[in-house]
Structure 1
Amino acid sequence: MTRYVLWGASWLFILVVLVTPPVMVLSEALRDGIGASVATLADPDAQAAIWLTLKVTLITVAVNTLFGILAAWLLARFRFFGRQALLALLELPLSMSPVVSGLVWLLLFGAQGWFGPALERMNIHIAFAVPGIVLATLFVTLPYVVRTVLPVMELQGRDAEEAAFLAGARFWQVLWYVALPGVRGALLSGVLLTTARALGEFGAVSVVSGHIPGETETMPLHIENLYNGYQSVAAFTMAALLGVLAMAAVLLRAAPAWFARWREKTI
């Protein structure tokens, strides 16, 4: 009896908390018909927001994937002074409010910040420009690849890598052909988590972007702008598109496990 109660309570909680919001967003987006919803995406500001979000996400995922692999390999293979402090710092973005991180970038690169005036004289714009959005997104998504790859690398051990080094392989050859094949599932998971987080980042980007329509307005910021302007169909349409992109990343993350179970059943 207890098992069925817990099963029912779990499904009820999932339906209320996880399923209902996207269903409501989709229903609001289609309130005036699919044609009206699609038409809102033809707006130049909407298209600029979509392309900026995709560009920032691509840059963020590429940089944090490379950094995450190298940092995970360093932490898994070596014991050094400050290692625990480095691990703690890597998790800082998970505990710090994104708004605080956005304020830090403004303190550094804003017009009245530490480096802002010098950068302005060189015609380099970071705050209220795309570089600031990229920096803010890099910060909030930094831990995901490291924290998913690191435990698997530690379990994998270093014997095969040491044998490859003794055989004369270079560092990048060992990393690509020996270390990474064993952590592909964890790496894919970290990359997709980073993607989903980068697509939906609002707090840090809101502070550092300046909310300039068509220039520094990402999809989450554009949704807020549309909703505050009482353009609810357009806002929910953009929200639905953003939700579809994020859910696609989550589904791709689960795809390897589904494929493995399917292969077990067919063999």
Structure 2
Amino acid sequence: MMRRILIGSVWLYFAVLLVGPILYLAVQSFGEGLSTFWSEITKPEALHGFTLTLEITAIVLVVNLIFGTITALVLVRQQFFGRTILSGLIDLPFSVSPVIAGFMLILLFGPETLLGIFFGTMGIKVLFAMPAMVLATLFATFPFSVRELTPLLQTIGTDAEEAARTLGASEWQVFFKVTLPALRWGLVYGATLTVARAIGEFGAVLVVSGNILLLTQTATLHIYQSYVDFNYIGANAVALTLLAISFAILTLLEFAKARAAATVA
């Protein structure tokens, strides 16, 4: 009896917090028909939002995969002063609001700051442009790759790498032929989390982008602006589209998680 109550409570919880809102979002999105839904998600401002979100996500994904892998290797394989502090700083985005991260970037790259003056004299616009939006998204997503790769590196150990070095392999050969293949599903797992987080980033991007129509307005900012402008169908349609993309990403995440577990086992 208790088991049924617990299972029923879980389903009720998900129904209230997930299933109900999703169904409501779908009903509102298609409330005026499929043609209206399609018209809203294919508007120039909506398409620009999708495109800009894709561009930022692609940049962030590449940067995080490269530097996330390097950071994880350094944390696991190297001993140095400040290692614990560095490990703690990596988790900072989990405890700090993205809005605060956006304000931090404004304080760093404002027009009267040293960095702002430096980039201004070079003709590079950081704030209210793509660079600041990428930096804000990087801040929010950086921990995912590192935290997925760190335990995996600890699990696989260094025996295979040492064996490859004994056979005469160079450090690059060891990395690309031994270490990287062992990390492949962890990389996929971290990449999937990074993409899912990047496409949904709002707070930090809103602060540093200026939310300029057809210039710095991502898909999430377009949803926000549509809602503010009382275009509820447009906001719901774009939100449902992002939801569908997120669901597909999470499905890939579960597949990568299962493969990563099988690899470790």
Tell me the TM-score normalized by structure 2.
Answer: 0.94
Give the whole-Å Cα distance in 1 for the aligned partners of 2:56 and 2:257: 29
- Asked whether the equivalents of residues 189 and 257 of structure 2 are also in contact (C-alpha less than 8 Å), the reply is no
SS where residue 116 of structure 1 aligns?
A: helix
Q: How does 1:252-267 map to 2 (within 5 A)?
A: 252-256=252-256
Give the whole-Å Cα distance in 2 for the aligned partners of 1:7 and 1:105: 45
Give the whole-Å Cα distance in 1 for the aligned partners of 2:252 and 2:119: 41
- Asked whether the equivalents of residues 189 and 256 of structure 2 are also in contact (C-alpha less than 8 Å), the reply is no
Give the whole-Å Cα distance in 1 for the aligned partners of 2:229 and 2:107: 30
Instruction: Report the equivalent of 2:124.
Output: 124
Q: Shift in Å at residue 131 of structure 1?
A: 0.7
1:160-205 Cα offsets, whole Å, 9 max, x none, are 1122223232333222221122232222111100000000000000
Q: Shift in Å at residue 65 of structure 1?
A: 0.9
Shifted more, 118-127 versus 218-227: the winner is 118-127
Kindly provide the amino acid, as one letter, of the partner of residue 220 in structure 1.
T
Instruction: Report the equivalent of 2:48.
Output: 48
Instruction: Report the equivalent of 1:264.
Output: none
Q: Shift in Å at residue 66 of structure 1?
A: 0.9
Q: Any runs of at least 4 consecutive aligned residues in structure 1 with deviations exceeding 3 A, and if so which?
A: 256-261
Shifted more, 190-199 versus 20-29: the winner is 20-29
1:27-66 Cα offsets, whole Å, 9 max, x none, are 1111101110101122211111110000000000110011
Kindly provide the amino acid, as one letter, of the partner of residue 224 in structure 1.
Y
Instruction: Report the equivalent of 2:4.
Output: 4
Q: Shift in Å at residue 258 of structure 1?
A: 6.3
Give the whole-Å Cα distance in 2 for the aligned partners of 1:15 and 1:87: 37
Instruction: Report the equivalent of 2:195.
Output: 195
Instruction: Report the equivalent of 2:59.
Output: 59
Root-mean-square deviation (Å): 1.7
Residue 257 to residue 133, structure 1, CA distance change in 2 (3 Å): closer
SS where residue 142 of structure 1 aligns?
A: helix
1:132-151 Cα offsets, whole Å, 9 max, x none, are 10010001000000001110
- Asked whether the equivalents of residues 185 and 259 of structure 2 are also in contact (C-alpha less than 8 Å), the reply is no
- Asked whether the equivalents of residues 141 and 197 of structure 1 are also in contact (C-alpha less than 8 Å), the reply is yes
Instruction: Report the equivalent of 2:68.
Output: 68
1:59-107 Cα offsets, whole Å, 9 max, x none, are 0011001111111112121222211111101000111110011011111
Tell me the TM-score normalized by structure 1.
Answer: 0.93
Shifted more, 184-193 versus 88-97: the winner is 184-193
Give the whole-Å Cα distance in 1 for the aligned partners of 2:64 and 2:259: 27
Percent identity (aligned): 40
- Asked whether the equivalents of residues 68 and 142 of structure 1 are also in contact (C-alpha less than 8 Å), the reply is yes
Kindly provide the amino acid, as one letter, of the partner of residue 19 in structure 1.
V
- Asked whether the equivalents of residues 60 and 138 of structure 1 are also in contact (C-alpha less than 8 Å), the reply is yes
Q: Shift in Å at residue 260 of structure 1?
A: 9.7
Instruction: Report the equivalent of 2:18.
Output: 18
Instruction: Report the equivalent of 1:186.
Output: 186
Instruction: Report the equivalent of 2:249.
Output: 249
Give the whole-Å Cα distance in 1 for the aligned partners of 2:228 and 2:16: 26
